[in-house]
Structure 1
Amino acid sequence: MRKPPRENVRQALALVLLVGLTVAAIAGPTGLLAWAENAEALEQRQAHIAMLTKERDALRNRVALLDPEGADPDLVSELVRSDLGVLHPDEIVITLDDE
């Protein structure tokens, strides 16, 4: 028995749709091929976030040390001397920057 032409068209459209969905699942922007790239990008962003978090925490600590209510005398002295340039020739300033 031959299938009616309408049934053949339906099956052809279903096959085209199935092939299209399969191609999208493999090669699409969220497909299997993009999975490794997305995982690598995620690792890079997490490392960048960790670095920014460390930098933010260091800045928070420095702000806390400069609180007008109870500023750290050593840090205040260091900042005033470096900003005003009032170091004695025999003085050595040691800074602990992570850079």
Structure 2
Amino acid sequence: MSLFREIHKRSRIVIPQVLGAALVAYFAYHTIEGDRGVWAWIHLTQNLQAKQTEMLSVQSEREELEARVALLRPDNLDPDLLEERARDVLNYGRENEYLVIQQR
């Protein structure tokens, strides 16, 4: 009977400590591995940097295209650009003229 009392007495001391350690382990695990944990934050930060770089690239390409479109507007028409676009769209060239096609 004394063995049972000893186990019962020590279990009152050990059980709260084990539960506390389990609770700390649970929250520590989810702080690192959870949906909003450290690894997810690092992954989102890397994705954000990649998307910002891509956005800057697209913005510069858009500015270049807007500049070319501005040259084709009726109030500010560039004859050389108009001729270039007409030849490209109509597939037209002059005699003794060589065409060099560049892929973009």
Same fold by TM-score greater than 0.5: yes
Secondary structure, aligned partner of 2:35 = coil
Residue 46 of structure 1 deviates from its aligned partner by: 1.3
Unmatched tracts of structure 2, length 5 or more: 1-14
Alpha-carbon separation, structure 1, partners of 2:16 and 2:103: 67
Change (3 A) 1:65 1:53: same
Structure 1 residue identity aligned to 2:93: L
Aligned pair 1:89/2:95, yes or no?
yes
The alignment-based identity, stated in percent, is 30
Structure 2 residue identity aligned to 1:69: D
Q: State the Cα RMSD in Å.
A: 3.4
- Name the TM-score, length of structure 1 as normaliser: 0.67
Residue 54 of structure 1 deviates from its aligned partner by: 1.4
Q: 1:29 aligns with which of 32, 35, 38?
A: 35
Alpha-carbon separation, structure 2, partners of 1:98 and 1:56: 18
Aligned length: 96
Residue 20 of structure 1 deviates from its aligned partner by: 3.5
Structure 1 residue identity aligned to 2:31: A
Between structure 1 and structure 2, the one with the greater Rg is 2
Alpha-carbon separation, structure 2, partners of 1:98 and 1:34: 39
